[in-house]
Amino acid sequence: MRSLKRSLPFFVILAAAQLLVLAGVFQIAGQSKYIPVTRYDPKRDAAQDIQDAVKEAQRAHKRILLEVGGEWCSWCHTLDRFFDTHAELTQLRDKNFVTVKINFSEENTNKDVLSRYEAIPGYPHIFVLDSDGKLLWSQNTSILERDKSYDLERLTVFLTNWAPASKE
């Protein structure tokens, strides 16, 4: 019994240390990594998605591309496929921008969020924001098209021109 009393403080200290380690693991796990918004989802909170993108853009020293469209939009899918088939373009985009897809559909027009920006003449539409979320440019994507797809040179120039010149 006597040796148990002497070792009791050791077990208490060991248990406390284990709890501290576990608390640190849970705290790190609670700091979630940014997950890009890659689909037009009417159930998403667009305002929160933009706030999360601003935090990530500030952390990574990038700008933000808001792609507004919907699952109903054939040109939105064409743009996605264009990026999928042009790795160098995707690399340029992802190096310089946090991309967020904002849904616009009958189910959810995201009227409140989109009212912060200029009127949208067609879909998809791209807004370029700085790392603080301030609107820098509103881009009608029809001028980036070529035939029944998009133009690699035009999209490359667009992304290059709007990439951050230096750390914002």
Q: The whole model's pTM is what?
A: 0.80
CATH number corresponding to 46-162: 3.40.30.10
Among the listed residues 74, 31, 60, 87, the one whose alpha carbon sits nearest the alpha carbon of residue 163: 60
pLDDT at 26: 45
Over residues 73-104, the pLDDT tens digits come to 999 999 999 999 999 999 999 999 999 999 99
- The full set of domain ranges for the chain reads 1-31, 46-162
**Cis upstream peptide for 9 (omega within 30°):** no
